[in-house]
A and B are shown apart, each in its own frame.
Chain A
Amino acid sequence: MAGRENAAAVATSAPCASGRWQGDSLSDMRRRMVDRVATGLCWLATILVLLMLFSILFVLVRNGLGGLRWVTFVHVTLPPGQGGGLANAIVGSLIQTGLAVLIGAPVGLLVGIYLAEFTATDGRFINLVRFISDLLLSAPSILVGLFIYMIVVVPTGHFSGMAGALALSMLVVPVVVRTTEDMLRLVPLSMREAAIALGAPRWRVILFVCLRAARDGVATGILLALARVSGETAPLLFTSLGNMNWSVSPAAPMASLPVTIYQYAGAAYEDWTALAWTGALLITAGILMINITVRLGLGRNRK
């Protein structure tokens, strides 16, 4: 209402010709100034945040590029001064994020299917599940680590790569739920109707028609979830703990890139901080690459 009155006031005070308002009264000049200043501030905000991004990337490359040597990829972490690498951390991160996606993605898929396809029968419960899933999406990740510590690490008596993977999988699920539901809702009703008319049972319609039609989008969601958890540090601190030695057993404490970066970045040894930056560069490059690929892919599909 207020907006409309204002628009009317503006219309009477600023007659408009040739697409540009050309009032010369004092109030018109003031309005123009305000508009210019606001536009300038919008430019400033965008440039400022872009500068932050480039500053981060620049610092990562400047400090991390020197450590991108063969040794970094084939040697395990060693005490300072002995020329260690990050091999165990890289492999540990791959194993834990891989396991996390293997555990989390199927659950996320099923829940996403439930939210998209069962609205007719379970409407209220579905709203609750969607709400809780959205909460989990932004829940503090360190608390997820504490939770897994209490229910996995304490009963089993030791830290383990599996516990780390479980903590990460709790972060994978809500991301996959969200994208799966969104993508399934984009599948046209006529496709479902056609499949049902052919006599297919509902679960086949969902799995082999709807999910297949939505498969690119669903895969995107899983990739984004992978990208998100591969940089997570907080949930791993109390679950997989980190490991200075080579270990690929999910039953034992396992090194990971983020935790190693965290331990090394705060250290007083120059070669450790250098490795921390290299690790940071590796992980950021990986994550950004997944994100860019996914976004480019999505853009193409939309066109």
Chain B
Amino acid sequence: MDRSATSPSALTGVVRGNGDAVFAAIVRCAAALILLGLGGMVAVMAWGARGAFATFGPAFIVDKAWNPVTQHFGAAAPVFGTLVTALLAIALAVPLAFGIAVWLTEIASARIAGVIGTLIQLLAAVPSIIFGMWGFAVLVPFMAHYVEPFASHTLGRVPGIGPLFRGAPYGTGFLTGGMILAVMITPFISAVMRDVFLSMPAVLKESAYGLGMTRWEVVRRIILPWSRTSVVGGIMLGLGRALGETMAITFVIGNANHIGWSLFSPGNTIASLIALEFPESAMGSLKFSSLMAAGFLLMLISLGTLVCSRLLLRTRAAGR
């Protein structure tokens, strides 16, 4: 096995103390690098954003303008777009992910579930730019030709929710963005859900089945209450990913700084705003600083979500 561990030498006694101390110091430094990485990101964003916050003040967050000509910038439109697309994504992805997790753990036989589960996890490995291209080539025309005209003729006439579904059928926009994000985050959420469902003591399920509950009743009344915290944590994890996603959204969001009721109208998100406009902004300009400020806001939003997610998931792990 290990030569050095079995051969005693006069030196080991000396080296042992130093070696351990040196090794501990090295790994602690590496760990400190992690903290430095995240702390540095937050600090650098805040530092880069100071110009924008000094000029526009807190109103930057609620200001709808984004006008490089008049040098007037506000983050309301991209923040709105970021939140709307991410929430739409969650609304679409949670039922899908839940269905998949239930199918994998309760319905399919173990062998088939293994194969299908792997396939679905492969979807999580596909790079986001590929989702963007797919969305642009497949989903956008589909939305423009079928879904949006149909929806605006039917749902668009329903009082109350009508305005959500009216508007020109560009194909790009909030809804398409939300759909792409939903496809991307579904594998993450379903993986978390599946793991929790699998970690549940079988006795609980078996006794419920033994009492004559149907499968759905077991899922609804036994599995879901037992795993609620982790399920919510998994959903928040998906939300955190959806908020920060860049490349997929850039292809299908339409890139217009716009706030409105219609889900079909083009919009923008913080991440795609940065991806598109950062290369065109001069270092030190007000636009540069405004983009950094938008990035800082994105950092706060997504870190907030991820912290919630981790706390929820950790509570469960600790209680196990």
A42, B102: Cβ atoms closer than 8 Å: yes
Residues of chain B in range 1-58 having any CB-CB distance to chain A below 8 Å? 1-2, 4-6, 8, 12, 15-16, 19-20, 22-24, 26-28, 30-31, 33-35, 37-38, 40-41, 44-45, 47-48
Bitwise interface map of A from 203 to 235 toward B, beta carbon under 8 Å scored 1, else 0: 111111100000000000000000110111110
A48, B96: Cβ atoms closer than 8 Å: yes
Residues of chain B in range 121-152 having any CB-CB distance to chain A below 8 Å? 121-123, 125-134, 136-138
7 additional contacts (CB under 8 A) given A45-B98, A265-B132:
A7-B208, A34-B214, A60-B130, A227-B125, A231-B128, A280-B129, A288-B125
Q: Which residue of B lies closest to A114 (CB)?
A: B27
CB-CB under 8 A from B1, the residues of chain A are 209
B residues with a Cβ closer than 8 A to A are 1-2, 4-6, 8, 12, 15-16, 19-20, 22-24, 26-28, 30-31, 33-35, 37-38, 40-41, 44-45, 47-48, 95-100, 102-104, 106-107, 114, 116, 118-123, 125-134, 136-138, 183, 186-187, 207-208, 211-217, 219-222, 225, 237, 240-241, 243-247, 251, 271, 274-275, 278-279, 283, 292, 295, 298-299, 302-303, 306-307, 310, 314
Pick the 9 closest A-B CB pairs, nearest first.
A231-B127, A140-B244, A45-B99, A203-B23, A110-B30, A200-B5, A35-B214, A38-B216, A114-B27
- What separation, in Å, do the CA atoms of A64 and B116 have in the docked complex? 25
CB-CB under 8 A from A266, the residues of chain B are 251
Interface majority SS (helix, strand, loop, mixed), chain A: helix
Q: A200-B4, A276-B133, A288-B122 are in contact. Are A42 and B99 (CB under 8 A)?
A: yes
Q: A56-B130, A144-B41 are in contact. Are A6 and B275 (CB under 8 A)?
A: no
Q: A11-B212, A45-B103, A132-B35 are in contact. Are A203 and B295 (CB under 8 A)?
A: no
- What separation, in Å, do the CA atoms of A49 and B126 have in the docked complex? 13
CB-CB under 8 A from A78, the residues of chain B are none
CB-CB under 8 A from B114, the residues of chain A are 299
- What separation, in Å, do the CA atoms of A208 and B211 have in the docked complex? 53
- What separation, in Å, do the CA atoms of A41 and B118 have in the docked complex? 20
B33, A3: Cβ atoms closer than 8 Å: no
A133 within 8 A of B: yes
- What separation, in Å, do the CA atoms of A173 and B307 have in the docked complex? 19
CB-CB under 8 A from B299, the residues of chain A are 139-140, 143
A residues with a Cβ closer than 8 A to B are 2-3, 6-8, 10-11, 14-16, 21, 31-32, 34-35, 38-39, 41-46, 48-50, 52-53, 55-56, 59-60, 63, 107, 110-111, 113-115, 118, 122, 125-126, 128-129, 131-136, 138-144, 146-147, 150-151, 154, 170, 173-174, 177, 195, 198-209, 227-228, 230-234, 237-238, 258, 261-262, 265-266, 276-277, 280, 283-284, 287-288, 291-292, 295, 299
